[in-house]
Amino acid sequence: MSSTPTPLSDNNPCIICGACCVSFRVSFYWGETTTVQVGGVPDELTEKINNHRVAMRGTNQKNPRCIALDGEISQLVSCSIYDNRPSPCREFVAGEPRCIEARLKHGVLDFIPASCA
């Protein structure tokens, strides 16, 4: 786990956005945690959903906000566990429909192609 937040890159709109981190429950197989694998998602940042799945703390509620999110939405954000983030975060693609949904929900309209807005 890195001790400082890691931005994605200087030209990636995700470092300004963060809407996905405050829009969805981030649930995944518990085997991705440090209980099972070195370099996994830190156990203390998860909560049990059932016998097979956990969620990032803060995302399993009506108004989600991932515990690993640092910063303010649409200002400057980073993930405090970027190198150890779970598979749903690794698989999330900027600009995909769920990204657009999250950006619209939180008023982060920069970087949305005109055809999607």
Res. 72: pLDDT tops 50: yes
Per-residue b/e over 15-53, b at no fewer than 16 CB within 10 Å? bbbbbbbbbbebbbebebbbeeeeebbeeebbbeeeeee
Q: What is the pTM of this model?
A: 0.82
Give percent above pLDDT 70 in the chain: 83
Give the tens place of pLDDT for each residue, 45-65.
999 999 999 999 999 999 999
What pLDDT was estimated at residue 75? 86
Domain boundaries, the chain: 13-105
Q: Are 73 and 22 in contact (CB under 8 A)?
A: yes
| Residue written as token pair 């829009």 | 23
